[in-house]
Structure 1
């Protein structure tokens, strides 16, 4: 009987292990779009909440009043993570490296959204150079996608740890 239980445990161990790790997606999506009504370039980072909380544990930050960060229940933890996102995202407009203004964050479903914006030049092309290194300091297999534009006019860049910035034109 003991051998049967041990054999069953060995057979089910990979299933249990993959279920436990299934929550970590190791994937973020950033969308950058020009808003002609406001004249702003809007940057929206979509991050799985579970990954955000896990990264705060790894980085030993979050709400100091609890042992583990709670992005959903703690505005302090959410803002700590939003600051992390803005530090790990490089944004260059033309020849100038710019730190976009932080607008805020919110949780929708299982995603944390972090919003930034910067004023677009009134004229000329919007040549951007970007690099998303969100979570690459936490997980070696992290993948970050950055979409320039919206609708059917989108260019997508994919970044992994240590990748160089990429350049593209943002449609007006």
Structure 2
């Protein structure tokens, strides 16, 4: 009798757990970091996006069966998408970051990019992150400018204007 009751309870709760899991996948947040690497003379960009959200973005772009985990082609397609959706200007000049690579860590896709830093090693960086805002209107993107313990952090939502901050070694 108890066994039958537990099986019935499991059958009732299983669809609820699946619904909660599906809802939990869409985190609707991306985090980008823009930092100067004085050793390389490059401004490095690192974008962290949940894998499931990245796959949704590719599907919305018309990619059939995107596979961020198993396909380098899908990861590179998402990196190209990030380049289109993340505006960066350095000292008033538009910059197009070069794709360095990507990796998957704990359910997040990391996309790495870089752009040459000004010779002086200091710059005013103007950014606007609209990553995934074309997929979800409630998307929130955080951008950290600078490294260390005191970065400037901006939060962007759909339609927000660019913001700027100084970037120094």
Give yes or no for TM over 0.5.
yes
The Cα offsets for residues 50-75 of structure 1, whole Å up to 9 and x where unpaired, read as: 111122222221xxxxx521111111
Instruction: Show the counterpart of 2:118.
Output: 121
Correspondence list, 1:32-111, <5 A? 32-61=34-63, 67-111=64-108
Pick one of 132, 135, 159 that aligns with 1:135. Answer: 132
Distance 1:129 1:104 in 2: 23
Instruction: Show the counterpart of 1:64.
Output: none
Instruction: Show the counterpart of 1:148.
Output: 145
The CA deviation at 1:18 is 3.7
Contact 1:153 1:171 in 2 (8 A): no
The CA deviation at 1:110 is 0.8
How many matched pairs? 160
Q: CA RMSD in A?
A: 2.1
| Runs of 4+ residues deviating >6 angstroms | 11-15
State the TM-score, normalized to the length of structure 1. 0.85
Runs of 5+ unmatched residues, structure 1: 62-66
Distance 2:29 2:105 in 1: 16
Q: 1:105 to 1:52 in 2, by over 3 A?
A: same
